[in-house]
Structure 1
Amino acid sequence: MTRHGPVLPLWLCETCDKPWPCVTRREELLGEYADASFTLAVYMGTYLVSAEQDMSWAQPDGLRRRFLGWVP
């Protein structure tokens, strides 16, 4: 189980205090969804929708890159 979960509504990592998903969590998710990149994209898309609501001040393109740009 990860200790790199999001702290809401700021979407910072609870362990390393970096923007979530942090590098560690991304690596964990890539391992967990190694054979299911579409499912990972859908999963992260749900987080993106929530983050867009919480951080309405953030640039939408930046949030998309943050939540989906690293998904293969």
Structure 2
Amino acid sequence: MTQHGPVLPLWLCEACDRPWPCPPRRDELLGEYADVSPSLTLYMGTCLVSARQDMSWAPPDTLRLRFLGWIP
């Protein structure tokens, strides 16, 4: 189990206080979803929708890159 979960509604990492998904969590997610990358995109898209609701003040493109831009 990861220690790098999100603290809501700020979407900060509970372990390292960086914007979630933080680099360590991204690496974990890439490993967890290595064989099912479309599922990772779907999961992170769901997180993006929730984050947009929680952080309506954040620029949409910034959130899109944060939640989806790192997925190969």
The answer to whether residue 57 in structure 2 is matched with residue 70 in structure 1 is no
Distance in 2, matches of 1:4 and 1:61, equals 23
Paired residue total: 72
Report the equivalent of 1:59. Answer: 59
TM-score in terms of structure 2 length: 0.98
The residue aligned with 1:33 is 33
- Normalised TM-score (structure 1): 0.98
Equivalent residue letter for 2:30: L
Report the equivalent of 2:24.
Answer: 24
Q: Distance in 1 between matches of 2:35 and 2:59?
A: 31
Flag structure 2 segments of 5+ consecutive residues without an equivalent.
none
Task: Give the Cα–Cα distance (whole angstroms) in 2 for the partners of residues 15 and 29 of structure 1.
Answer: 15
Give structure 1 regions of 4+ aligned residues with deviation exceeding 4 angstroms. Answer: none
For residues 24-64 of structure 1, what are the alpha-carbon distances to aligned partners after superposition, in whole Å with 9 as ceiling and x for unaligned?
00000000001111110000000000000000000000000
